[in-house]
Amino acid sequence: MERLAIVVPCYNEEEVLPETIRRLITLLNDLNSLEKRSKYWSNIKANDWADALRIFAESQSGVSKTIPQRNKLFIDFLISMKLKKNPQYMIHYLNSADEKSGYLDFEHIVPRKIIQNHIKDLTTSQQNLFNFSHVGNLCYLTVKDNRSKREKTIYEYVEDRPSYTFDKDYLKFNGYPEKDDLKFIHYSNSDFRDEYSKFIKYRTDTLCKEFLELVKELY
């Protein structure tokens, strides 16, 4: 049987502890009862999920050099659903284990340095329109891959190190784009900016569609 440990801060709260314990026991008993458990959640309709994902996609405007928590949660939940459907990919995460850094990094697909180089001729207000950490520019990579390539795409890293190999199916599973999808990083500044905007919009739409389809299938 699984055990759950609950730690409750109670500095100067001794007088209310009996009531806290009573309510907590009632709640846990309810959660352990199939008949009563349903009152603590409700099924979310597909249309409501679609509306929530649309609002989430619209919230991506504006500059964000650090990755917002909501974007991390989105990627976390998306990958967890994909692993639930395709558990065979878990071995990739386990094989990449890093005792210090964990299994995974959040990856900026178009590295921040590349974006900075293409927008440095703009004014500050114009630069702020380019969201480095837009959900359309994020995916998971193993710690090993992400720390090795640094400020390059995976494909640039491979070109510099022919002996390095990577699993294309695994990259696709994580949502990493095809090489041709990233060729715009070598365009002129103005063309890059246009293509980057198209890239993150298309990829955001694709991720949200995939998310919704998985929710419908698994839940």
Residue spans per domain, the chain: 1-42, 46-218
Residues in the chain: 219
Shortest CA distance to 103 belongs to which of 126, 79, 70? 79
Confidence check: pLDDT of 101 > 60: no
Q: 89: which 2 tokens? A: 């990919």
Residue 108's DSSP bridge partners are 138
Q: What is the band of 44 on the pLDDT scale with cuts at 50, 70, 90?
A: confident
pLDDT of residue 185: 95
Q: Are 115 and 126 in contact (CB under 8 A)?
A: no
Q: Supply the angle between the helices 112-119 and 189-218 in degrees, to the nearest 10.
A: 140
Give the pLDDT mean for 178-188. Answer: 95
Per the structure block, which two tokens stand in for 24?
């907590």
Q: How far apart are CA 114 and CA 169, in angstroms?
A: 25
Higher pLDDT, 65 or 90: 90
